[in-house]
Amino acid sequence: GEMLLWKMETTDGVQTWKVFKTLL
């Protein structure tokens, strides 16, 4: 799932990363 996080390295990506980290 790291690749997905890399691609989501945008303003919205930061929020998505936080959610992913919380789920993981």
pLDDT for the residue numbered 10: 63
pTM of the model: 0.26
Quote the CA–CA distance of 24 and 10 in Å, as a whole number: 20
Share of the chain residues as helix, strand and coil, in percent rounded to the nearest 5: 80, 0, 20
pLDDT at 6: 59
**Model confidence at 1: pLDDT above 60:** no
How many Å apart are CA 24 and CA 21, to the nearest integer?
5
Q: Is the pLDDT of residue 19 over 60?
A: yes
Model confidence at 17, pLDDT cuts 50, 70, 90, reads confident
